[in-house]
């Protein structure tokens, strides 16, 4: 499922999903485990939090996760729809302005 996406959008979506979804999931997992490697003291908890932040950072630097890809697809669809609507509105505005000029010429307001 390799897709070419806007890299800034992909990076932002991936970071968002990792912080909002995977971050709390990792925190919950860590809290449910007895931590034999780093201890349960303040230093161990701090190190585990830093480790989780680093893992999330590295996950964000890679290719988008499936959840992030779904978010990217939805955002791109919305951006495409918004651009199409803006083009339609701009075209309609040009037609309305042209029609106004034509009407003005017909009643002798302009040369």
Tell me, what's the pLDDT at 70?
A: 92
Task: List the structure tokens of 99.
Answer: 């029609």
User: Does residue 35 belong to any structural domain of this protein?
Assistant: yes
Number of domains in the chain: 1
User: Does residue 71 belong to any structural domain of this protein?
Assistant: yes
Cα–Cα dist 35/52, whole Å: 14
Tell me, what's the pLDDT at 1?
A: 46
Tell me, what's the pLDDT at 90?
A: 80
Other C-beta atoms closer than 10 Å to the C-beta of 38 total: 14
CA dihedral angle for residue 87, residue 93, residue 94, residue 95, rounded to 10 degrees? 110
User: Are 53 and 27 a contacting pair, CB within 8 Å?
Assistant: no
Tens of each residue's pLDDT in the chain, 111 residues = 445 557 888 888 888 998 899 888 888 888 787 766 777 788 878 888 888 889 888 888 888 888 989 998 998 888 888 888 888 888 777 777 666 666 556 555 555
Domain that holds residue 56: 7-106
Tell me, what's the pLDDT at 2?
A: 47
How long a stretch of residues is the chain?
Answer: 111
């Amino acid at each position: 499922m390799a897709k070419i996406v806007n890299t800034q959008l992909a990076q932002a979506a991936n970071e968002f999903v990792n912080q909002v979804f995977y971050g709390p999931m990792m925190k919950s997992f860590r809290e449910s485990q007895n931590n034999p490697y780093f201890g349960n003291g303040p230093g161990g908890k701090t190190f585990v939090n830093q480790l989780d932040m680093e893992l999330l950072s590295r996950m964000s630097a890679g290719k988008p996760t499936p959840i992030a890809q779904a978010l990217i697809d939805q955002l791109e669809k919305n951006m495409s729809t918004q651009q199409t609507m803006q083009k339609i509105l701009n075209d309609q505005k040009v037609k309305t302005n042209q029609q106004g000029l034509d009407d003005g010429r017909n009643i002798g307001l302009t040369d």
